[in-house]
Structure 1
Amino acid sequence: MGAVNNIWNAKEVAEAPDNSAIQIRFSSQSVDPSLPLPQITPLVTKLCKDLFKEWSDLDDSRFSVETVSGGITNLLLKATVKEDDGNEVSVTVRLYGPNTDYVINRERELQAIKYLSAAGFGASLLAVFGNGMVQSFINARTLVPLDMRDPKLAADIAKELRRFHQVEIPGSKEPQLWTDIFKFYEKASALEFDDNEKQKIYETISFSEVHNELVEVKELTSHFNAPVVFCHNDLLSGNIMVNDEEEKLYFIDFEYGSYNYRGFDIGNHFNEYAGYECDYSLYPTKEEQYHFFRHYLGPEKPQAVSDKDLEALYIEANTYMLASHLYWALWGLIQAKFSPIEFDYLSYFFLRYNEYKKQKEKCLLLARSFLSRSNAG
């Protein structure tokens, strides 16, 4: 097969824990993700030729580029090349959205990808360039929010998330949630919009209130004994793929990945049942959550998981779910200022923050009651 497949594989990573044996290819070229596909195609073709010398002499007509998906921070492309032996090789080219470095630690992301790939997660990292990366192509479909409600898929996601949480990534094991969220707060509370209408809407936000909410949730969650694991932190439907024929599930896009609280990753995933439209009537019921927890906690014997363990994870996930709303609400404000992507990020802030306020009392009451009983016991 094509030379791309031989750059490195998971076995090589596993045998080289410090990644010294892995040669990730690099180019200083950048590709503007805002361009239409006909203009992007020759740029991606040139990029591929620059990165993969085996392709450098091939005619441009051998290359084709198509859009896989356009999220609200990235553009995902599939580049396919017909090699001299007639075989077609495809790679995934991910273009970072402009200004995403305000909210994403790219160094942390690249470090994690190497080890997650070695553990069988996502696509292999093949190359890095000016504003993106090239990875192996995954032959699978991307989930939509309603897929996550399917009992079979929910069980598979739970099992895969447990496995994901067992991966060891070198470096600090300090949970990043509150570090990241207060960084977001500092940036979000000091913005100024050129657009007068946006500025007026922005000025209706009480950042002293937001700060008090952050402090309250942080203080309460500090009483949980939530395991700190390497988390995906953005497990929405668009970051889960499935090959239906092989019944194989893939987690992709680890740009927000970090060591974090297990409950945050799960609570955040449940919030994503609502989709980009933020229809929180789709948030999983207690019964659906327990189904997920059984397969997360007991992948081999889900029915053997105790009621005590189910309740503890239910409280943990639904308290950290509140932190997820605050995290992405503040993220939305930063994106509203810096992202050129056509998306109403300001409205997104209010959708997330209002849902936080709607769920807060019920969730905090449950958490405090649970903690009180646990301490008494």
Structure 2
Amino acid sequence: MIVLKVSVKEDTDNEFSVTVRLYGPNTDLVIDRKRELQAIPYLSAAGFGARLLGIFENGVVQSFINARTLSPADMREPRIAAEIAKELHRFHQVDIPGPKEPQLWDDIFKFLKKASALKFKDNEKQKRYETISFTEIQDEVQELKDLSDLLHAPLVFAHNDLLSGNLMLNDSEGKLYFIDFEYGSYSYRGYDIANHFNEYAGFDCDYNMYPDKDVQYHFFRNYLQPDKPSEVRAQDLEALYVETNTFRLASHIYWALWALIQANVSPIDFDYLGYFFLRYGEYKKQRESCFSLAQGFLSELRNG
């Protein structure tokens, strides 16, 4: 996606700025544009993102937001993290008309089907691609879905791509903005939070930056009770902690498969194939601890 700031001059000689977003080639393979355009007016009416001013064949025109884009370090700052949590709570309250079924697993299985049928022109890429076991990934996705289903995570309209580049802050007003709802859909509360936490890794993809339990609890308190974060019950914190860190794995699988498709079609000079191995490798690294956390929690519930 390409974003342009354009200044427009009115007949009265007043100037105002708009943002023109141009869709990249083949992005329809990983983004549901119909779903995005359906949601934008309702999110805009609730005060999220830029106002939608117009739609054309390969993009949209929106109002210009006077704010700076956050860095990964900004997201980790406790005061800003609390504001993100509160705003995410509000975002999850928005009702988008239409079907309310979660799209996460449907999207992952669609990505898996596309990713498993690729052919690369570059011989080296093709050799790396052929080392991937899609049967293994299929089994992993199904097992993770079965486990996460047992948690009965609340369904919300989720942003699904809350990285630092999609967060903006007007420092003088203290106003935080969520932008770019391309991947928005009805999904699981814990997935949206986990996906955000994974983005603490930043552009260097340093997953050692994933927040520890104390940092997560700070976020959860402000998410669960924005007005009275100190009054959140311990059992609610624990439940959200387990939920989030189970869906942490789903986030890695989602973006790993996304990257494989991009490796085959994107004109951007980026090692998407390497990014697949990075995200799937992190999935495998975290799998045992995350599964054990969820299984132990469910066992306590059954025996409680």
Normalised to the residue count of structure 2, the TM-score between the two structures is 0.99
Amino acid corresponding to residue 64 of structure 2 in structure 1? F
Question: Per the alignment, in what secondary structure is the counterpart of residue 108 of structure 1?
Answer: helix
The counterpart of 1:287, out of the listed 214, 233, 247, is 214
Q: 1:254-299: per-residue Cα shift (whole Å, max 9, x none)? A: 0100000101000101001112321101111111100000000010
The counterpart of 2:6, out of the listed 60, 66, 79, is 79
Structure of larger gyration radius: 1
Amino acid corresponding to residue 183 of structure 2 in structure 1? Y
Structure 2: distance between partners of 1:248 and 1:375 = 44
Q: Does 1:239 align with 2:157?
A: no
Task: Tell me how far 1:81 sits from its aligned partner.
Answer: 2.3
Q: 1:107-164: per-residue Cα shift (whole Å, max 9, x none)? A: 0000000100011100111111121111000000011111100111100000000000
Structure 2: distance between partners of 1:286 and 1:92 = 38
Residue 302 of structure 1 aligns with which residue? 229
The counterpart of 1:220, out of the listed 147, 159, 167, is 147
Q: Percent identity?
A: 70
User: Unaligned 5+ residue runs, structure 1?
Assistant: 1-73
The number of aligned residues is: 304
Question: Per the alignment, in what secondary structure is the counterpart of residue 4 of structure 2?
Answer: strand
Question: Per the alignment, in what secondary structure is the counterpart of residue 364 of structure 1?
Answer: helix
Question: Per the alignment, in what secondary structure is the counterpart of residue 8 of structure 2?
Answer: strand
Structure 1: distance between partners of 2:25 and 2:268 = 9
The counterpart of 1:104, out of the listed 31, 34, 45, is 31
Task: Tell me how far 1:343 sits from its aligned partner.
Answer: 1.0
Structure 1: distance between partners of 2:197 and 2:90 = 18
Structure 2: distance between partners of 1:275 and 1:214 = 25
User: Unaligned 5+ residue runs, structure 2?
Assistant: none
The counterpart of 2:182, out of the listed 231, 252, 255, is 255
Question: Per the alignment, in what secondary structure is the counterpart of residue 77 of structure 1?
Answer: strand
Structure 2: distance between partners of 1:286 and 1:326 = 22
Structure 2: distance between partners of 1:375 and 1:175 = 25
Normalised to the residue count of structure 1, the TM-score between the two structures is 0.80
Amino acid corresponding to residue 267 of structure 2 in structure 1? P
Residue 184 of structure 1 aligns with which residue? 111
Structure 2: distance between partners of 1:75 and 1:144 = 19
Which structure exhibits the higher relative contact order, with contacts defined as CA atoms closer than 8 Å and separated by 6 or more residues?
2
Amino acid corresponding to residue 318 of structure 1 in structure 2? N
Amino acid corresponding to residue 294 of structure 1 in structure 2? R
Question: Per the alignment, in what secondary structure is the counterpart of residue 187 of structure 2?
Answer: strand
Structure 2: distance between partners of 1:310 and 1:86 = 55
Q: 1:43-89: per-residue Cα shift (whole Å, max 9, x none)? A: xxxxxxxxxxxxxxxxxxxxxxxxxxxxxxx1111001233433221
Residue 95 of structure 1 aligns with which residue? 22
Residue 160 of structure 1 aligns with which residue? 87
Residue 331 of structure 1 aligns with which residue? 258
Task: Tell me how far 1:196 sits from its aligned partner.
Answer: 0.7
Structure 2: distance between partners of 1:327 and 1:199 = 21
Task: Tell me how far 1:339 sits from its aligned partner.
Answer: 0.7
